[in-house]
Structure 1
Amino acid sequence: MRQPLDKWLKSGTPWVWLNAGAVAISVIMVIGLLALIAVRGLGHFWPASIVEAQIQAPNGNTSLLIGEIVDTEEVSAAQLRSAGIELPESATFVDRHLVKIGNRDVYGSDFSWVLDRNIVERTYPENLIAIERREWGNFYGYLLAVKEAGVTVAEQNAGENRIWDEFQARIERALTIHEAIYQIEKHEIGSINYALERLRLKQRRLELEGKDTPENLAELDAERQSYQQEYHALEARLADLNKEFNRDSFVAQVQDGRTTEIYFSKVVRAYQPNAMGLGGKFAFYGAKLWEFLSDEPREANTEGGIFPAIFGTVMMVLLMSVMVTPFGVVAAVYLREYAKQGFITRVIRIAVNNLAGVPSIVYGVFGLGFFVYFLGGHMDDLFFPEALPAPTFGTPGLMWASLTLALLTVPVVIVATEEGLARIPRTVREGSLALGATKAETLWRVVLPMASPAMMTGVILAVARAAGEVAPLMLVGVVKLAPSLPLDGNYPFIHLDQKFMHLGFHIYDVGFQSPNVEAARPLVYATALLLVVIIALLNLSAIAIRNHLREKYKALES
């Protein structure tokens, strides 16, 4: 009996099954984590029903509660009694609901905990409305009247359909005006301000170089006056639009019977979830999901979209890849093909391997001190003296963040490229040299193409690490909210000196720095899922390129 068991153990079969089980458990855990993130994050955009509940207080009085039930948990009765809540002696555990009541401008808080045993009655009236606002979060209540310039044009008692149709029409009008105002402020006036600033810097440069002649200044003044005329015309148009924007308002009633008047200029969208069919809910879900992917954040990043963070993450990773690939490949080629293999080379390889284990925040400190303050400060002195003392590149920005992450990930590219070069048979090199090619030609036309799949493996690993890094970026360029994208229509079009938003930092900021934690929690899950998807897409793109290169040069390897 012992011999078969020893033979079975020595065959290695148990270890194969043990490894298979460990891999299976890891895969299940990863899939479970992604499923949890997806359910918590993507479920946030579904239009939840609004409940109208009668709440009975311990003294017997009842009150009305309107809102969305966003979470339910079971708590011990002892914990509630210690908080001063009266419960029967027989109660051990009690269900309580977290209700999003909105109306933060009225109540000061838009979430409330309610014990399930205190809910006397629940109803879901179809005429309850939910309104997403640009400030103060959601509004829940009943629509009473619509006003135009202070005059009532539709009331609840005039017919529900009529007031709702009028209400939606006024929202569409306000959104159209808001888009026009946004285009003027963000793009047209923004471009003029950018051009005026460039003229100011140009004039300052002329003064520093002693070329501020009357002719040169007159040319600048003429150009400046042209821009100012355009600016005044846009300013007048903007004033008219703002007047129209703040014309209409509506009156609504909240859960305690109070009424409030809200301007349509504060409204993003309004809907009646209790009256929606399944098709309407799917349409609403698609609109909310698209807004999340394509819009800018609002309400301290707890509402709206995260497009600037998506754009900043992808652009930084692409710039980092462009910077790290040639540097890592050149270093690996030198170490493998040209450097004398001795003690110094071994020490360099050990140092490269050790660099991969340095904490990322150390790279952030180095990037801040060397790239930002040293290189950036000297660049400002040499190339941008007219802007001083305001820094141009002597401040954290996109370029320094990309360089810092390139430095962080370059050991991975070096190691992967060296391994690829080492796998190329020596006979291939000797055959190329025997045919009359020089060592440089052999390297460029034979060795590097065959090692390109290994290079892409290094880039894949670098992208996977860099895209999720947060700590160094907090020091060298990432911000909570960037007023503009680093890529726009203003010369030089790509602004490497600008600060940017990043999905990893956005998760940290929303999850741990938000003033409204309960409202921000679903967005943390949604943003985390999106970051995983973006990293996966970037990696899959690099893998596809690597596989193509591998198939292309497979014949040479054989």
Structure 2
Amino acid sequence: MKDWFKSGSPGIWLTAGAVALAVVMVVSVLLLTAGRGLGHFWPKAVAETSFTERDGSKIRLIGEIREREEVAVRRLRDSGFNIDSQEKFVTRALFKMGNRDVTGADFRWFPEPLLGPIAFPQDLITIERREWGNFYGHLKAVKENDQVVAEGPQAWVQAQARFDRAKKLFAQIYKLEKKDIGDVNYRIEQLRLEQRRAEIRNALTPELKASLEQRRAKLDEEFSVLQAQLQKLRDEIARDSLVAEIMDGQEKEVKFAVIADIYRPNAMNLGEKFVHYGRKFWEFLTDDPREANTEGGIFPAIFGTVMMVLLMSVIVTPFGVMAAIYMREYAKQGPLIRIIRISVNNLAGVPSIVYGVFGLGFFVYLLGGNIDRLFFPEALPAPTFGTPGILWASLTLALLTLPVVIVSTEEGLARVPRSVREGSLALGATKAETLWRTVLPMASPAMMTGLILAVARAAGEVAPLMLVGVVKLAPALPLDGYFPFIHLDRKFMHLGFHIYDVGFQSPNVEAARPLVYATALLLVLIILGLNLFAIRLRNRLREQFRGLETV
């Protein structure tokens, strides 16, 4: 046993066990996140039953059974429920009742001993609304201009056809509002800025003013035409509606204009459920959020996260590499360089929120405010760069991750043998040529390692972004078809902040919980994808350098 300990085998087994435990923990977290998040898009069966209230009255329930848990009978009796059971614990079910505009709450717990027989009628419909969440009920009729056009079995066929029509009209309305009317508003704003710029420079001549007024009149006329088209589409989409009976027996009318999706989950076969699942998951990836971010998709957050990480990488890599090259290759090694190295190492431990405060004060207020006064005076007092935006967020995170890149690059430069430098210099190369052609290629894997660590940390940061650019809902992406195409002054959405907002700031926590898991899983996958791309690039550089070395 003593020889076994001296051989170092215990340390090897301990290390292997720790690595295995870490892998199991990581995989467990990913599986838990995937299980709770990806299941959100599967069409849930809608149940119908009855429930005995505290006063003995019975009500009808229609909704999705989301969870079940055991609860103490004594606790339910203390709450006023008449539970006739000899058991200490009974099961209660969490119903998603929907119809929030009628019931006032989406979710409610019901003790199962007080529930009646649970059925799953095939004619129950689920309606995902653009406002007020889900709607559940029995479809009774379809109306056109307040006149019933279908009842009974034909009502579902008519509902599907008219929903498809409403969906196409909604797409046209969305395009008209976002693209056509948005383009006119953009050009009108540019005219205003052009006039204001001329006024500041005392160059607003009567001819220029007349030209601006003429162009503005044309834009106003174009805007009026588009508004008329928009109103016509809105009138058309408001034509159709459906009538459904909800759980309290009332018949409610729902306009197809507010319906995002309609389906009968209890009547779906397995293939239809898989098709529905794929469509919902694709909508989650490509659509804009709605209902205070608890419904819809997260495409703006995905786009903002990736664009911010790319901008941060472009900024931090050259500065970190140049700083490391100077300190390792050119600076005289002494007390000053040692102090700088200690400071760089200490910066890696500064809380990220401190970087956010610095970015807000220096980048946004000082640098951005001066940029506005020098280059965008016509837009004042409305700020252009003097407000949080994706550029300042990228710079702030570049500062946050700069120590990682510097330290990794310095370590890579230090691993290059001195004999390689001396051999290059002996062959007549200058110091700069030696650095560029020999040392940096050999140190490039270490530089990529620093970039990988920087990307992994920056993509998951939230605290500093709350101060320097991220918002709950961005009205426009930082990239569009208007010059200069990349708008670094715009605010943006971020997956990390989206998780925080949906998980802790949502008015409907139960509805938002699955989206928190799904978004968290997507953020992990995006970080993994960015890291794998950087790792592949690093490995290619390493293999390329090995090939040159053999030659």
With the shorter chain as reference, the TM-score category is over 0.9
Between the aligned partners of 1:177 and 1:370, the Cα distance in structure 2 is 47
Between the aligned partners of 1:204 and 1:535, the Cα distance in structure 2 is 44
1:499 aligns with 2:491: yes
Matched with 1:105 is: 101
1:473 aligns with 2:465: yes
Between the aligned partners of 2:191 and 2:451, the Cα distance in structure 1 is 41
* Alignment-mate amino acid for residue 166 of structure 1: Q
With 360-369 and 429-438 compared, the bigger mean Cα shift is at: 429-438
Matched with 1:292 is: 284
Matched with 1:169 is: 161
SS, match of residue 60 in structure 2? strand
Matched with 1:64 is: 60
Length-normalised TM-score, structure 2: 0.98
Query: Is there any run of 5+ residues in structure 2 with no aligned partner, and where?
Result: none
CA contact (8 A) 1:252 1:260 kept: yes
Deviation, structure 1 residue 439: 1.1
Matched with 1:344 is: 336
Pick aligned residue for 1:10 from 1, 6, 9: 6
Within a 5 Å distance, the mapping from 1:388-537 to structure 2 comes to 388-537=380-529
Between the aligned partners of 2:26 and 2:17, the Cα distance in structure 1 is 14
With 320-329 and 80-89 compared, the bigger mean Cα shift is at: 80-89
Query: Is there any run of 5+ residues in structure 1 with no aligned partner, and where?
Result: none
Between the aligned partners of 2:548 and 2:243, the Cα distance in structure 1 is 76
Pick aligned residue for 2:88 from 82, 92, 107: 92
Matched with 1:131 is: 127
1:197 aligns with 2:197: no
CA contact (8 A) 1:487 1:493 kept: yes
* Alignment-mate amino acid for residue 518 of structure 2: A
Tell me the number of residue pairs that the alignment of Structure 1 and Structure 2 aligns. Answer: 550
Between the aligned partners of 2:171 and 2:64, the Cα distance in structure 1 is 30
Between the aligned partners of 2:390 and 2:382, the Cα distance in structure 1 is 17
* Alignment-mate amino acid for residue 37 of structure 1: T
Q: Which runs of 4+ in 1 moved over 6 A?
A: none
Between the aligned partners of 1:433 and 1:225, the Cα distance in structure 2 is 71
With 346-355 and 82-91 compared, the bigger mean Cα shift is at: 82-91
CA contact (8 A) 1:477 1:499 kept: yes
Between the aligned partners of 1:492 and 1:223, the Cα distance in structure 2 is 22
Relative distance call for 1:26 and 1:221 in structure 2 (3 A) is same
Pick aligned residue for 2:367 from 366, 375, 381: 375
Between the aligned partners of 1:379 and 1:62, the Cα distance in structure 2 is 67
Deviation, structure 1 residue 37: 0.4
Deviation, structure 1 residue 39: 0.5
* Alignment-mate amino acid for residue 498 of structure 2: H
Relative distance call for 1:371 and 1:59 in structure 2 (3 A) is closer
* Alignment-mate amino acid for residue 74 of structure 1: E
Within a 5 Å distance, the mapping from 1:325-364 to structure 2 comes to 325-364=317-356
Across the aligned residues of Structure 1 and Structure 2, the Cα RMSD in angstroms comes to 1.2
Matched with 2:149 is: 153
Matched with 2:37 is: 41
* Alignment-mate amino acid for residue 519 of structure 1: A
Between the aligned partners of 2:445 and 2:549, the Cα distance in structure 1 is 12
* Alignment-mate amino acid for residue 464 of structure 1: A
1:20 aligns with 2:12: no
* Alignment-mate amino acid for residue 135 of structure 2: F
Matched with 2:237 is: 245
1:215 aligns with 2:207: yes
Relative distance call for 1:58 and 1:352 in structure 2 (3 A) is closer
1:320 aligns with 2:316: no
Deviation, structure 1 residue 89: 6.6
Deviation, structure 1 residue 216: 2.3
Q: Deviations over 1:353-404 (max 9, x none)?
A: 0000000000000000000000001101110111111111000000000000
Q: Deviations over 1:445-468 (max 9, x none)?
A: 221122111111100000000000
CA contact (8 A) 2:365 2:387 kept: yes
Matched with 1:53 is: 49
CA contact (8 A) 1:450 1:557 kept: no
CA contact (8 A) 1:511 1:520 kept: yes
Deviation, structure 1 residue 26: 1.0
SS, match of residue 73 in structure 1? strand
Pick aligned residue for 1:30 from 26, 31, 34: 26
